[in-house]
């Protein structure tokens, strides 16, 4: 509990002015533009769009500038902004098999139709600081090679085309047409369906989801995963506006997707089989989608008949703590004045100490 | 709750095609196309350009049950030509001028004379968009791995 | 309409009537009026709206629709409203899905109250979420001159006599059942011309 206090208006106003000045930094250095952030800090933009849950590169870049690069603060700004916009439609489910692929790899199968496409990645760099980037005259305009022919049109998912023996669980809609859960409209409810879990994880804090995914690999979740496929590229988004009544394509979003394949020992009903975990994010966000896929699989413990023993398998624990806007808000509220509560606690401790002292003296006297 | 009856789409492939091309155009491209028109039609704005959100859905595992993944900004506009034809636009992003011009071109495409608009506006946009996609894909294709089998050390020769 | 959006056919966009001229300010005014209407049940509130909505909608009914309906609010229309240009007007200006099943609607628009379905056909909310109930916008010939009823409850100082015209004879018996469901139940806003009267579920009405 906290008690409202008044006062400090001038201090607050001046604090706003001071943070504005601090954010601008040394006036001798050119101010960074929102377009520069969008173009040159694109992966930060991708994270803010994913966890801020709004695909809009300019807005995310603006949020990053305003938050002085504090991504969790930028995510908060974007989430706050989205509440001011009306919702026009819900899209048809995106078809990631029809992606304009920029990157696509599988660690489970070597020879995949369409090939292993590395795309733009830091995976094979040496992780040595590149001082060329710090040079005054910058890096110029580097150009990547262009192949003679484009990639194959449309790339089906690897697990769907290479598993001829049915050793990997199939993902099919169950066709019950149930209403899809929406965290932005309904409070969390348990037991959670996979739709609720996936939406929560997609918006969830990358660090939290990464740590949980890591815990499943270290034995706190008991899955031995393979990266069945990771892909990144553009998919088109279709809606059916109420006043038109037919499907139209409104543009593309860049997304990252991960299919994780996990060993499954089988249960009384099901023979041993590989099962799947799924990760999806806006932009290029591979670490997040891989971690998300691990946690998605861990959270399927109940439906697999596995005993949920570890944090990553505990849906209430995971879902209630994944959102960094909520988490940062509750941790940060401790900064609000708790003066009266603390005074009450001090009085209580004084009283308890006095009682403790009295008891010792009484015992000594006896 | 939020229950709703399932929409029954009535596909209009030709119109959907040009609407998607217009939605992917830049406002600069549409502005230039508008300036190039020999006679620019009068139109009334039925719905001023407004920005809102579309909830994007994915599918569990890529092919399973749908889930709500995250939202995207979208701007829409509706206009009416003097002959009564109504044009619509829904385009990703927050570009209001683009939405308005795209709605005008949607109306022009529906009314008479659409062959000329197709030829002078839609087809060039489509060609540029296809070329850009191809360029992206060819750059990705340049990073495709060619595996080769290592010669084993104990093999003769 | 037989299912959800089956009447989409060819929306008559050519005859489409305009919505609010100043969407922000007009919606704010209407929203404030609706709040007052529900806070002070039984009092007549009047909107300054200039709307010229499609028949059979009155300006107050249409203003409430433009203010309250959106993509997230399934709307049920009675047969009189379905017949005219109103469905396209609502789809275009509100983006609201029109549903065939009364129980699925968050809002219902009724312009022919003498043939309205019983109140218990609409959603009354759930124990955990009493707000997941329907709000009925009932357009009546007049807000005065009907049989006088005594209303009492929150927002009414003592009691007030209200004489809504044009309601089915058993409406108030149905209302007693709805009131008994509190905190569940439907809420009603009556409209005529530019005027509104609110009847939230907490109000008790006697003859």
A44-68 pLDDT, tens digit each: 999 999 999 999 999 999 999 999 9
Per-residue pLDDT, B10: 63
C-alpha distance from B131 to closest chain C C-alpha (Å): 35
Q: What is the pLDDT of residue C1?
A: 29
CA distance A88 to chain C (A): 6
- Residue in A180, A242, A246 nearest the CB of B16: A246
A107-111, A203-207, B97-101, C186-190: least confident range: A107-111
Report whether A264 contacts A257 (CB < 8 A). Answer: no
> What is the mean predicted confidence (pLDDT) over A103-126?
92
State whether A103 and A72 are in the same domain: no
pLDDT band of residue C7 (cuts 50, 70, 90) is very low
Tell me the per-residue pLDDT of A132-148, one tens digit each, with 9 for 90 and over.
Answer: 899 888 889 999 999 99
Q: What is the pLDDT of residue A245?
A: 87
Give pLDDT, residue A305.
84
Is residue B146 a part of any domain in this protein? Answer: no
Distance, CA of C119 to CA of A195 (rounded, Å): 34
pLDDT at A242: 83
Neighbours of chain B (3+ CB pairs under 8 A): A, C
Q: What is the mean pLDDT of chain C?
A: 91
| Minimal C-alpha gap between C11 and chain B (Å) | 10
Minimal C-alpha gap between A90 and chain C (Å)? 9
C159 and C151 Cβ atoms separated by less than 8 Å: yes
* Residue A14 lies in domain: 7-82
| Mean of pLDDT over chain A | 92
Residue B80 lies in a domain: yes
Please tell me which of the candidates C18, C100, C129 has its beta carbon nearest to residue B5: C100
pLDDT at residue A307 in the model: 86
Distance separating alpha carbons of residues A51 and B7, to the nearest angstrom: 30
Please, which pLDDT band fits residue A168 given cuts at 50, 70 and 90? confident
Res A162 pLDDT > 90 = no
Contact across the interface for A87 and C71, Cβ inside 8 Å: yes
A60 and A209 share one domain? no
In this structure, is residue B151 part of a structural domain? Answer: no
Among residues of chain C, what percentage have pLDDT more than 70? 93
Q: Do A177 and A59 share a structural domain? A: no
Residues with Cβ within 8 Å of A234's Cβ and at least 6 positions away in sequence, in order, are A99, A100, A102, A252, A253, A254, A255, B136
CB contacts, 8 Å: B2 with chain C: 72, 74
Contact call for C104 and B4, based on CB within 8 A: yes
Could you tell me if residue A341 is left (phi over 0), alpha (psi between -120 and 50 degrees) or otherwise beta?
alpha
Cβ atoms of B50 and B58 within 8 Å: the answer is no
Residues A232 and A286 in one domain: yes
Same domain, A60 and A116: no
pLDDT reported for residue C141: 96
C-alpha to C-alpha distance for C61 and C113, rounded to whole angstroms = 13
Residue pair C124/C185 in contact (Cβ under 8 Å)? The answer is yes
Say if residue A350's pLDDT is above 80: yes
Would the pLDDT of A266 be above 80?
Answer: no
A146 with B7: Cβ contact below 8 A = no
Cβ atoms of A320 and A257 within 8 Å: the answer is no
Q: Collect the ranges in chain B with pLDDT lower than 50.
A: 1-7, 157
C9 pLDDT more than 50: no
pTM for this model (two decimals): 0.88
**Same domain (yes/no): A263, A316:** yes
Write down the pLDDT at residue B139.
97
Nearest CA in chain A to C72: A87
* Window from A210-214, A298-302, C36-40 with minimum mean pLDDT: A298-302
Q: What pLDDT is attached to residue C21? A: 85
Structural domains counted in chain A: 3
What ipTM was predicted for this assembly? Answer: 0.92
Give residue limits of the domains in chain C: 21-200
pLDDT exceeds cutoff 90 at A358? yes
Whether B140 maps to a domain, the answer reads: no
Lowest pLDDT segment from A69-78, A154-163, A245-254, C152-161: A154-163
Is residue A119 within 8 Å of A102, Cβ to Cβ?
yes
Instruction: Using pLDDT thresholds of 50, 70 and 90, give the confidence band for residue A243.
Output: confident
Q: Are residues A37 and A180 in the same domain?
A: no
Q: Would you state the pLDDT for residue A273?
A: 86
In a domain, B101, yes or no: yes
Rg (CA), chain B: 22
- Is residue B5 in a domain? no
Nearest CA to A196 among A184, A208, A209? A184
Return the residue of B nearest to A101 by Cα: B137
Residues of chain A neighbouring B143 (CB-CB closer than 8 A): 103, 117-120
**Mean pLDDT across the stretch C53-78?**
95
pLDDT band at C10 (very low <50, low <70, confident <90, very high): very low
Contacting B residues, span 13-32, partner chain A, CB-CB under 8 Å: 15-16, 19-20, 23-24
The full 3-state SS of chain A, as one line of letters, equals CCCCCCCCHHHHHHHHHHHHHHHHCCCCCCCCCHHHHHHHCHHHHHHHHHHHCEECHHHHHHHHHHCCCCHHHHHHHHHHHHCCCCEEEECCCCCHHHCEEEEEECCCCCCCCCCCECCCCCCCCCCCCCHHHHCCCCCCCCCCCCCCCCCCCCCCCHHHHHCCCCCECCCCCCCCCCCCCCCCCCCCCCCCCHHHHHHHHHHCCHHHHHHHHHHHHCCCCCCCEEEEEEEEEEEEEEECCCCCCCCEEEEEEEEEEEEEEECCCCCCCCCCCEEEEEEEEECCCHHHHHHHHHHHHHHCHHHHCCCCCCHHHCHHHHHHHCCHHHHHHHHHHHHCCCHHHHHHHHHHHHHHHHHHHHHHHHHHHC
Mean pLDDT of A178-188: 91
Region C156-185: what's the mean pLDDT? 96
Residue A85 has pLDDT above 90, yes or no: yes
Residue of A183, A245, A247 best to disrupt the C interface, most CBs of C under 10 A: A245
Residue A216's pLDDT is what? 94
Q: By three-state DSSP, how is residue B39 classified?
A: coil
Quote the DSSP letter at residue B76: E
Domain count for chain B, please give it: 1
Write out the residue range of the structural domain in which residue B21 sits.
13-128
Q: Which residue from B5, A16, A167 is spatially nearest to C103, judged by alpha carbons?
A: B5
Residue identified by tokens 């529906």 is B110
Q: Is the peptide bond before A163 cis (omega within 30 degrees of 0)?
A: no
Contacts of B84 in chain C (CB under 8 A): 14
Sheet containing strand C45-46, edge to edge, reads C45-46, C195-199, C187-192, C135-139, C107-110, C75-77
Residues A64 and A104 in one domain: no
CA C68, CA C91: separation in Å to the nearest integer? 13
Nearest residue of chain C to residue A187 (CA atoms): C129
- In B, which residues are within 8 Å of C101 by CB distance? 5
Does C15 or A297 have the greater pLDDT score? A297
Among B4, B6, B46, beta carbon nearest to C16: B46
- pLDDT band for C6, please (50, 70, 90 cuts): very low
Torsion of CA C104, C107, C112, C114, to 10 degrees: 70
Residue A23's pLDDT is 97
* Model pLDDT, residue C13: 59
pLDDT tens digit sequence for C103-159: 999 999 999 999 999 999 999 999 999 999 999 999 999 999 999 999 999 999 999
A130 is written with which tokens? 């590149």
Q: What is the pLDDT of residue B147?
A: 80
Question: Percent of chain A at pLDDT above 90?
Answer: 74
Residue of C nearest to B53 (CA): C71
B3 and C5 within 8 Å at the Cβ level: the answer is: no
Is some CB atom of chain B closer than 8 A to the CB atom of C3? Answer: yes
Is the pLDDT assigned to residue C5 strictly greater than 70? no
pLDDT (0 to 100) of residue B114: 64
Query: Is C5 in CB contact (< 8 Å) with chain B?
Result: yes
Fold of C21-200: Rossmann fold (3.40.50)
Q: Could you tell me which chains touch chain A, where touching means 3 or more CB pairs under 8 A?
A: B, C
Residues A194 and A251 in one domain: yes
Query: Which is more confident, A231 or A3?
Result: A231
B8: closest CA of chain A, how far (Å): 7
């Amino acid at each position: 509990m906290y008690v409202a206090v008044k006062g400090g208006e001038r201090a607050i106003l001046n604090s706003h002015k001071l943070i504005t000045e601090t954010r601008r930094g040394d006036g001798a250095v050119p101010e960074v533009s929102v377009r520069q952030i969008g173009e040159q800090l694109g992966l930060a933009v991708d994270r803010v769009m994913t966890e801020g849950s709004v695909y809009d590169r300019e807005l995310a870049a603006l949020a990053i500038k305003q938050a002085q690069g504090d991504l969790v603060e930028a995510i908060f700004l974007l989430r706050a902004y989205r509440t001011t916009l009306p919702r026009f439609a819900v899209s048809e489910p995106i078809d990631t098999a029809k992606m304009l692929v920029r990157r696509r790899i599988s660690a489970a199968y070597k020879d995949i139709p369409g090939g292993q496409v590395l795309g733009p990645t830091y995976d094979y760099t040496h992780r040595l600081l590149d001082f060329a980037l710090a040079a005054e005259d910058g890096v110029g305009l580097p150009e990547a090679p262009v192949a003679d022919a484009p990639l194959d049109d449309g790339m089906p998912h690897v697990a769907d085309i290479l598993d001829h023996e049915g050793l990997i669980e199939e993902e099919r809609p169950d066709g019950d047409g149930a209403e899809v859960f929406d965290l932005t409209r309904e409070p969390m409810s348990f037991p959670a369906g996979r739709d609720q879990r996936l939406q929560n994880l997609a918006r969830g804090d990358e660090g939290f989801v990464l740590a949980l995914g890591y815990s499943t690999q270290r034995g706190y979740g008991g899955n031995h995963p393979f990266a069945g496929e990771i892909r990144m590229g553009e998919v088109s988004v279709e809606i059916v506006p109420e006043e038109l009544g037919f499907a139209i394509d409104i543009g593309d979003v860049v997304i990252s997707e991960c299919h994780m394949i996990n060993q499954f020992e089988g249960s009384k009903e099901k023979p041993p089989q590989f099962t799947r975990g799924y990760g999806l994010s806006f932009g290029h966000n591979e670490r997040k989608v891989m971690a998300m896929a691990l946690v998605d699989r861990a959270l399927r413990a109940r439906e697999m008949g596995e005993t949920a023993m570890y944090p990553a398998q505990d849906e209430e624990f995971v879902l209630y703590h994944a959102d960094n806007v909520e988490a940062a808000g509750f941790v940060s509220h401790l900064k609000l004045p708790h003066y009266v509560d603390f005074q009450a606690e001090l009085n209580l401790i004084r009283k308890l100490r006095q009682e403790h002292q009295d008891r010792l003296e009484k015992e000594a006297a006896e | 709750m939020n229950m709703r009856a399932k929409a029954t789409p009535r596909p209009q492939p030709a119109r959907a095609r040009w609407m998607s091309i217009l939605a992917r155009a830049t406002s600069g491209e549409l502005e230039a196309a508008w300036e190039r028109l020999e006679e620019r039609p009068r139109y009334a704005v039925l719905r001023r350009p407004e920005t809102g959100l579309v909830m994007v859905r994915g599918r569990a595992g890529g092919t399973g049950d749908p889930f709500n993944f995250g939202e995207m900004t979208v701007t829409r506009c509706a206009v009416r030509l003097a002959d009564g034809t109504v044009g619509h636009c829904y385009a990703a992003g927050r570009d209001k001028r683009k939405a308005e011009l795209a709605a005008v071109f949607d109306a022009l495409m529906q009314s008479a004379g659409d062959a000329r608009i197709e030829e002078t506006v839609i087809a060039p946009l489509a060609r540029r968009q296809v070329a850009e996609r191809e360029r992206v894909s060819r750059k990705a294709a340049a990073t495709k791995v060619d595996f080769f089998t290592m010669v084993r050390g104990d093999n003769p020769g | 309409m037989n299912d959800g959006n089956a009447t989409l056919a060819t929306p008559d966009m050519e005859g489409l009537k305009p919505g609010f001229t100043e969407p922000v300010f007009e919606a704010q005014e209407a929203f404030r009026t609706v709040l007052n209407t529900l806070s002070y049940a039984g009092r007549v509130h009047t909107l300054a709206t200039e709307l010229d909505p499609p028949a059979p909608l009155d300006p107050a009914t249409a203003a409430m629709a433009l203010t309250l309906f959106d993509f997230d609010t399934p709307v049920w229309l009675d047969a009189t409203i379905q017949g005219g240009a109103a469905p396209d007007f609502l789809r275009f200006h509100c983006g609201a899905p029109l549903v065939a099943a009364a129980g699925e609607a968050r809002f219902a628009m009724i312009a022919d109250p003498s043939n309205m379905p019983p109140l218990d056909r609409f959603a009354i909310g759930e124990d955990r979420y009493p707000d997941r109930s329907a709000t009925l916008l009932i357009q009546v010939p007049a807000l005065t001159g009907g049989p006088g009823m005594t209303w009492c409850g929150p927002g009414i100082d003592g009691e007030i006599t209200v004489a809504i015209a044009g309601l089915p004879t058993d409406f108030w018996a149905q209302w007693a059942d709805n009131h008994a469901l509190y905190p569940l139940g439907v809420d009603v806003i009556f409209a005529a011309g530019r005027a509104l009267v609110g009847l939230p579920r907490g109000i008790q009405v006697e003859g």
